[in-house]
């Protein structure tokens, strides 16, 4: 007998997932205008109230390189404030369930995070990043890979001693915009290296939309064969060819349970221009058309997963509302289709029905809900040539 149960066909596919938000960090880092501190505070709060428990707050790198994050300490202080904690309590949010992450690509940023921790406003979790393709890694971090691994090992010990977790990111898994094709086996080994030196979890990044669904399934199946604990793996997808939803599906089918996304699909390479002034960023952009740069949208990803019947803990309608507000904040149409079309309504859209169907069926002598002529057999009889054999 043919099996139609999706979870039996894909036995590793989860029935519950965690979806983190990285809008205010990864999303805003690509914007060429400064997003006000007030707006950042608003979206951080509202995303948490909508169900987010793993949230990237800011980047603790040098504001000279990325001035979008010159308000990093103010944002962290805001989320550590007693007033915000009381707001969480009033909305039924357990503050202790919230994990605040800050990106700390290099050691001085880790030291800054530790200093903030001592002041009582530091993040819970830091993030460092390697690329399996060394030219891409050098463009991002300015070091060789062996140099960076030594630095990361020192930093992990420091942050663990300070009571913080470290996430290690592996990038260029499915290809590099500089060096071209890469080997999936390298990314598996890089993941093991992060865990070997003490990382708490690993973000597996398709940083430029290079991934295809079959290779995504293959990679995450390889990862879970090598490291079966799903709690340590986070899927991170960019969207440049309108195929990332297929990659998310393939990731679910492979058995991954942790994802992250941004409102409106915002994000990408750090901006090299802010307001009216060129800034350093990470140099020249890797792309030619900014319309095709960004991450998977939180709104569409949530709708996709919600309509699959997978638990996620978010208020989807509130997120769709936030997506519409974000378009006003950014000042342009963003990439979510769900903020326009909403969810698939099981009750339909009866306001679009043409009048007269009920009367016509009654006039024709048809019963309500009757779908074929009364003298037809209850079940279709297929011609022999179409029958399965």
Q: How confident is the model over 245-260, as a mean pLDDT? A: 97
pLDDT of residue 257: 98
pLDDT at 288: 81
Average pLDDT over residues 65-69: 94
Confidence of residue 207 (pLDDT cuts 50, 70, 90): confident
Q: Is the pLDDT of residue 169 over 90?
A: yes
pLDDT tens digits, 17-41: 999 999 999 999 999 999 999 999 9
How many CB atoms lie under 10 A from the CB of residue 22?
A: 27
Contact 240, 293 (CB under 8 A): yes
- The yes-or-no verdict on residue 1 having pLDDT over 60 is no
At 283, the pLDDT band (50, 70, 90 cuts) reads confident
Of 129, 136, 142, give the one whose Cα is nearest residue 102: 129
Mean pLDDT, residues 43-54 taken together: 98
Residue 362: pLDDT band by 50, 70, 90 thresholds? Answer: very high
Phi-psi region of 42 (alpha: psi -120 to 50; beta: other; left: phi over 0): alpha
Instruction: Judge whether 107 and 151 are in contact, CB under 8 Å.
Output: yes
Q: In the chain, pLDDT over 90 holds for what percent of residues?
A: 87
Lowest-pLDDT choice from 18-32, 181-195, 297-311, 345-359: 345-359
Q: Which residue has the higher pLDDT, 232 or 4?
A: 232
Higher-confidence residue of 360 and 343: namely 360
> pLDDT by residue (tens digit) across 93-146?
999 999 999 999 999 999 999 999 999 999 999 999 999 999 999 988 999 999
Q: How many CB atoms lie within 10 A of CB 157?
A: 13
What is the band of 58 on the pLDDT scale with cuts at 50, 70, 90?
Answer: very high
pLDDT of residue 349: 84
Q: How far apart are CA 87 and CA 85, in angstroms?
A: 5
Specify whether the backbone of 206 is left (phi greater than 0), alpha (psi in -120 to 50) or beta: beta
Of the pLDDT bands very low, low, confident and very high (cuts 50, 70, 90), residue 208 is confident
pLDDT at 2: 64
Q: Of 245, 250, 264, 389, give the one whose Cα is nearest residue 335.
A: 264
Evaluated on CA atoms 24, 26, 27, 28, the torsion sign reads: positive
Q: What pLDDT does residue 291 have?
A: 80
- Write down the residue that tokens 């001693």 correspond to: 161
Q: Are 259 and 20 in contact (CB under 8 A)?
A: yes
Residue pair 122/114 in contact (Cβ under 8 Å)? The answer is yes
Alpha-carbon torsion (140, 36, 86, 311), positive or negative: negative
Helices (H), the chain: 6-9, 37-49, 72-80, 82-90, 107-118, 134-141, 145-161, 184-196, 213-226, 244-254, 298-307, 316-330, 338-341, 357-363
Q: What is the pLDDT of residues 296-322, one digit of tens each?
A: 999 999 999 999 999 999 999 999 999
Residue 274: in which H helix or E strand, if any? strand 273-274
Asked if residues 162 and 205 have their Cβ atoms less than 8 Å apart, the reply is: no
Residue 342, by phi and psi: left (phi above 0), alpha (psi -120 to 50) or beta?
left
Across residues 332-348, what is the average pLDDT?
91
DSSP 177: T
Helix (H) or strand (E) run with residue 53 in it: none
Q: What percent of the chain has pLDDT over 70?
A: 99
Coil/strand/helix, residue 210 = coil
Mean pLDDT of 184-207: 97
Q: Are 226 and 170 in contact (CB under 8 A)?
A: no
Average pLDDT over residues 164-170: 98
Cα(35)–Cα(44) distance, integer angstroms = 13
- Find out whether 143 and 97 touch, Cβ atoms under 8 Å: no
Question: Per-residue pLDDT for 287 more than 90?
Answer: no
Contacts of 321-330 with C-beta under 8 Å, sequence gap 24+, read: 322/43, 322/46, 322/47, 322/50, 322/263, 323/263, 323/264, 323/297, 323/298, 323/299, 326/23, 326/43, 326/263, 326/264, 326/266, 327/264, 329/35, 329/39, 329/43, 330/31, 330/35, 330/264, 330/266
Q: Looking at domain 6-341, which of 3.20.20.70, 3.90.700.10, 3.90.226.10, 3.90.1150.10 is its CATH number?
A: 3.20.20.70
CA distance 332 to 314: 25
Under a CB-based contact definition with an 8 Å cutoff, are residues 53 and 18 in contact? yes
In whole angstroms, what is the distance from residue 235 CA to residue 255 CA?
11
- Which residue has tokens 């965690």? 18
pLDDT at 285: 87
CA 311 to chain centre: 16
pLDDT number for residue 218? 98
């Amino acid at each position: 007998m043919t099996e139609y149960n999706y979870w039996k066909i894909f036995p590793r596919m989860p029935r519950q997932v965690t979806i983190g938000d990285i809008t205010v960090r990864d999303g805003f880092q690509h914007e060429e205008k400064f997003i006000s501190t007030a707006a950042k505070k608003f979206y951080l709060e509202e995303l948490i109230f909508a169900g987010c428990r793993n949230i990237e707050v800011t980047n603790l790198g040098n504001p000279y390189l990325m001035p979008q994050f010159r308000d990093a300490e103010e944002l962290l202080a805001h989320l550590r404030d007693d007033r915000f904690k009381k707001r969480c309590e009033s909305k039924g949010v357990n503050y202790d369930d919230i994990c605040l992450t800050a990106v700390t690509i290099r050691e001085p940023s880790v030291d800054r995070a530790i200093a903030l921790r001592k002041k009582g406003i530091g993040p819970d979790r830091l993030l460092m990043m390697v690329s399996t393709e060394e030219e891409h890694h050098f463009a991002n971090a300015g070091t060789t890979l062996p140099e960076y691994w030594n630095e990361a090992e020192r930093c992990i010990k420091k942050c663990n001693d300070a009571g913080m977790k470290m996430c290690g990111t592996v990038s260029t898994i499915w290809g590099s915009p500089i060096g071209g094709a890469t080997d999936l086996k390298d990314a598996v080994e890089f993941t093991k290296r992060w865990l070997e030196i003490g990382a708490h979890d690993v973000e597996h990044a398709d940083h430029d939309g290079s991934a295809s669904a079959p290779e995504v399934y293959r990679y995450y199946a390889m990862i879970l064969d090598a490291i079966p604990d799903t709690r340590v793996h986070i899927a991170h997808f960019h969207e440049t060819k309108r195929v990332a939803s297929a990659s998310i599906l393939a990731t679910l089918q492979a058995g991954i349970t942790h994802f992250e996304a941004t409102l409106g699909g915002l994000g990408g390479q750090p901006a090299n221009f802010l307001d009216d002034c060129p800034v350093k960023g990470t140099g020249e952009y890797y792309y030619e058309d900014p319309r095709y740069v960004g991450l998977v949208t939180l709104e569409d990803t949530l709708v996709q997963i919600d309509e699959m019947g997978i638990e996620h803990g978010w208020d989807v309608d509130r997120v769709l509302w936030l997506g519409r507000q974000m378009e006003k904040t950014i000042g342009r149409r963003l990439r979510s289709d769900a903020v326009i079309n909403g969810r698939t309504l099981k009750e339909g859209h009866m306001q679009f029905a043409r009048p007269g169907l009920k009367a016509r069926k009654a006039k024709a002598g048809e019963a309500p809900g009757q779908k074929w002529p009364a003298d037809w057999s209850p079940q279709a009889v297929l011609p022999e040539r179409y029958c399965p054999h």
